[in-house]
Amino acid sequence: MKFNPANIMKMMKAKDKFQQNHPKFVAFLNATFAGGIPEGSIIEISVTKPGSDKITSNLRVMQSDLDLLEELKDLAG
For the chain, the domains span 1-35, 40-77
The confidence score (pLDDT) of residue 69 equals 82
Q: Where are the alpha helices (DSSP H) in 1-77?
A: 5-21, 23-34, 63-76
Quick check: helix, strand or coil at residue 61? coil
The confidence score (pLDDT) of residue 2 equals 66
Measure the CA–CA gap between 13 and 7, rounded to whole angstroms: 10
pTM of the model: 0.64
Residue 21: CB atoms within 10 Å: 9
- What are 11-61's pLDDT values in tens digits? 899 999 999 999 999 999 889 888 888 999 999 999 999 999 999 999 999
Single-letter amino acid, residue 66: L
